[in-house]
Each structure stands twice: as C-alpha cells, then as structure tokens.
C-alpha cells in the first residue's frame, strides 16, 4: 500500500508501508539513544556535584582535593585522567652490518650521517647522539 503526504509547501511525497516501518524503527532507535544520553548526562552531573559537595563546607571560599581524587572522578565519568610529564633518558645500542666504505672512519661517518631516531608517541624527542664506538672490517 502507498500513502501520499503533502507538506506545507505543496510538495507531495509517496510512502510505502516499508518506508513507514523503517521510519518508525529509526525514530524508536533515535529516541532510545537520546534517552540513554540524558540518563548518562544526569549521572555525570550528579557525580560532579557530589564530588564537590563532599569537599565543601558552608562559608568556604576554596575547595581542596588531590589529583588522585580528581582522576577518580574523571575516570568515573568516562573522561581522560590528568597526567604528569616525565623525561626518560636511555641508551640505544646498535649493530649495522654490510656497510660498503673505503675505511672504518668512512663506515662510522656513513652511520652517523644516515642513522635517525624517531619517537612515535606523545612527547618530544629533544636530544639524541650517536656514538659509533667501534668499526671493524668483516
């Protein structure tokens, strides 16, 4: 069966039973999704309110909490936790074989000029140094 709908501008749209069924299913899904969102939003608001209420006394002008407390709250509401910054210092040892060169010094120069270090994580690679301590003919 087909149904005709005319909008306020006079445009006529033809709907089939299948189209109406799909539209109703989509509306039900969107309603369910919206309800879930509002429930989650209410839960987050309550958690945040309780967090600060538990740390507040009437007349206080400041609220004190630890980073650990804040991270527990953030984690409980599905947010990223606060993180600290660290510096890591280390050493990379390497052995590169089959370098074609005229001399040991040339072989070291090739490595020192062509070896690169890359860091793919969050952070900055600020310093690196190559120490090609030994070169020997194979």
- Phi-psi region for residue 27, left (φ > 0), alpha (ψ -120 to 50) or beta? alpha
Binning the chain into helix, strand and coil, the percentages to the nearest 5 are 40, 5, 50
Distances (CA, A) of 99 to 5, 77, 106, 114, 134: 78, 55, 10, 11, 13
Q: Give me the chain's average pLDDT, please.
A: 90
Domain boundary among 48, 76, 104: 76
Q: Are residues 66 and 117 in the same domain?
A: no
Q: Note the pLDDT of residue 95.
A: 87
Residue 135 predicted with pLDDT over 80: no
9 lies in which domain range?
Answer: 2-76
Q: Are residues 52 and 107 in the same domain?
A: no
What's the chain's length in residues?
A: 138
Q: What's the pTM?
A: 0.55
Domain boundary among 29, 44, 76: 76
Domain boundary among 76, 96, 116: 76
Q: Are residues 98 and 64 in the same domain?
A: no
Cβ atoms 82, 67 nearer than 8 A = yes
The total domain count for the chain is: 2
Residue 40 predicted with pLDDT over 90: yes
């Amino acid at each position: 069966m087909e149904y005709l709908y005319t909008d306020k501008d006079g445009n006529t749209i033809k709907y089939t039973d299948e189209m109406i069924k799909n539209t109703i299913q989509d509306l039900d899904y969107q309603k369910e999704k919206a309800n879930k969102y509002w429930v989650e939003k209410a839960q987050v608001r309550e958690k945040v309110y309780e967090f600060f209420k538990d740390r507040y006394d009437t007349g206080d002008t400041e609220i004190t909490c630890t980073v650990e407390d804040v991270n527990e709250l953030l984690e409980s509401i599905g947010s990223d936790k606060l993180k600290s910054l660290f510096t890591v210092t280390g050493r990379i040892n390497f052995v590169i074989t089959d370098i074609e060169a005229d001399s040991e010094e040339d072989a070291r120069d090739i490595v020192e000029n062509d070896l690169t270090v890359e860091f793919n994580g969050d952070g900055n690679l600020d310093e690196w140094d190559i120490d090609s301590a030994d070169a020997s003919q194979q």
